[in-house]
A and B are shown apart, each in its own frame.
Chain A
Amino acid sequence: MEKLPRRAGISLQPQHYQEILNSHPDLGWVEIHPEDYLGLGGAAHFYLEKIASDYPLAMNCRSLSLGSAESVNSKHLQDIAALVERYSPAHFSEHLAWNRWQGGYFHQPLPLPYTTESLDQVSFNVRNVQNALGRRILLENPARFFGLEDEFSEGAFFSELVRSSGCGLLLDLTSLYLSCLNLGKDPFKELQQYPLAAIKEIHLGGHTLMPLDDDYILLVDDHSTAICKPVWQLYRETLQQLPQPVATLIEWDHKATELSVLLEQVGKANQIISEMERKTATGEVTS
């Protein structure tokens, strides 16, 4: 199992398979959604095997439904485990969300209330998955569109979850930013509540605006645009608070754009990482 470098990578899209193999761009790593590779053969695996031999790989799962009040689908978990066995990704992550209820799947990460009961259930499901995969997994914060009556802030919930399950944190800064703006909170303040020492990977993605009425615009994480300036600021702020930079993903998996556009975003993230590493080396950053 290769370690992810402290550099920026991209979510792998079929449109870019051949171009990546031909041009071998300067990418730190690539990430896939295992749900796109559930078939046993064909073009998807043909290309993934070649690309994974050139770049470190991470898997970001969207279907284990760790936030369900029911246990994880064991058959599906077996399929995912087989894929993990086949490719040995450096990181395996899943969302703090649910998308399965009574056997039915929704294919959209849905929010759950951050209560003690939820904490116990998610922690149980995380431990189950970690046992099945034989590795520590990372949990990713989702974007929230509305408020729920919670007993914990999201950051405090993650702190408890990390402690009780032993998982790591994949901090999606775009989701954090959008959730805070949708719920009227300050993302820079909320950031302080997360277990920053448990962060092993960061996600950055684009979002769109969905006006609900004359006075309110919902921010939606559709990963179909360039990363906005406030999220880059939040990224810089987060890296300043970490002992050292972590692997960072540029997410653009809807309305796929040219690879060159993704590489430009990768370059920007790498530039910030380099700045922070320089500052850390010269003692300018307090961790």
Chain B
Amino acid sequence: MSLAGFQEAFSRALYSAELDPELVSQIPHLAASPRTLQQFAAYRERALQGLENILRSVYPTLAAVMGEEAFSRTARAFLLQRAPHSVDPVVIAEPFGNFLDLYAAEDNLPHLPDLATLDYGCFKARQAIEASAMNTRIFTDLSPEQLAARRIQLHPACFWMSSPYAIYDIWRFHHSPYSSKAAGAGYSSGSSDYPAAIECGSAPGRRWLGESPRRHRCGRNP
């Protein structure tokens, strides 16, 4: 049996919805042992745990709100649908928000997808490339024509979103600054820790920069 055949069979058994003795027995090159199934289960568990940990690092607040058990169950259901096609946590975790839409509907927790969006946006923001913030000096030497041609872009560490739920308060209550692997205590690059959290004072209640009638989600389709 070829290496490709071995990896095809191994992958199929690893990504079956449940540990399947029949699929494991079809993996070529396995030395006969009464404990092969349990040993394979150890690989499977580590692979799923590794992926689950990636999702947890991107969605620490969501995990805290859902509870470890529910988060783990949901994360695994998501991961078993298809293997991630990237190593980058930002790419792996992105579709989890859409997946949560289904979960949230089933469990009557409609705010979870927006909470996930906020977690995801913060994770991305923490890894964003450094960029100079806009300041008034850059306008000094511009002609009116040049000024008219200028376009304002969001800083790479900023994102837009809005929600009908009080997700910022929920997020702030459950969020730990040390819950994300990428977070470093005392880090300051001159920008605020959570640039998405902007409160507008022009209307009652908490709003988000860029709030519009349509819901915008960072990195996902509106």
A residues near B (Cβ < 8 Å) are 14-15, 17-18, 35-36, 38-44, 46-47, 63, 68-70, 76, 98, 101-108, 110-113, 115, 117-118, 121, 145-150, 182, 210, 212-213, 216, 218, 220
Contact = CB atoms under 8 A, between A and B. Distances in A.
A105 B50 CA distance: 11
B184 interface: yes
Nearest to B127: A39
A43 B187 contact: yes
Interface of B: 2-4, 6-8, 10-11, 14-15, 29-31, 33, 35-36, 38-40, 42-43, 46-47, 50-51, 54, 82-90, 92, 125-130, 156-157, 178, 181-187, 189
Given A41-B128, A43-B187, A102 B35 contact: no
A146 B30 contact: yes
Contacts of B38: 212-213, 218
B2 A107 contact: no
A132 B134 CA distance: 38
Contact of A121 (B3, B29, B36, B87): B3
B187 A103 contact: no
A117 B126 CA distance: 43
20 contacts: A14-B184, A35-B87, A36-B182, A39-B126, A39-B128, A42-B127, A43-B126, A43-B184, A101-B83, A103-B83, A104-B83, A105-B86, A107-B84, A113-B3, A118-B3, A145-B42, A146-B40, A148-B31, A150-B29, A220-B46
B174 to A, nearest CB: 20
Contacts of A14: 181-184
B182 A42 contact: yes
Contacts of B35: 146, 212-213, 216
A17 to B, nearest CB: 5
Contacts of B51: 106-107
Contacts of A150: 29
A39 B187 contact: no
Contacts of A17: 184-185
Contact of A108 (B43, B88, B89, B126): B43
Contacts of B92: 105
Contact of B39 (A47, A70, A149, A218): A218
- Which of A101, A112, A216 counts the most chain B CB atoms within 10 A? A101
A107 B126 CA distance: 22
A150 B3 CA distance: 12
- Shortest Cβ-Cβ A-B pairs, 3 listed: A39-B127, A104-B83, A147-B31
A42 B129 CA distance: 7
Contact of B186 (A18, A44, A63, A115): A18
Contact of B184 (A18, A106, A210): A18
Given A42-B127, A63-B87, 11 more contacts: A17-B184, A38-B88, A39-B127, A68-B7, A101-B11, A103-B83, A107-B47, A107-B54, A118-B3, A145-B42, A149-B29
B191 to A, nearest CB: 10
Contacts of B86: 76, 105
B11 A145 contact: no
Given A112-B3, A149-B31, A41 B129 contact: yes
A101 B7 contact: yes
A87 B213 CA distance: 45
A191 B5 CA distance: 30
A47 B187 CA distance: 8
B95 to A, nearest CB: 14
B30 A149 contact: yes
A76 B189 CA distance: 28
B85 A103 contact: yes
A104 B11 contact: yes
A251 to B, nearest CB: 15
A282 to B, nearest CB: 45
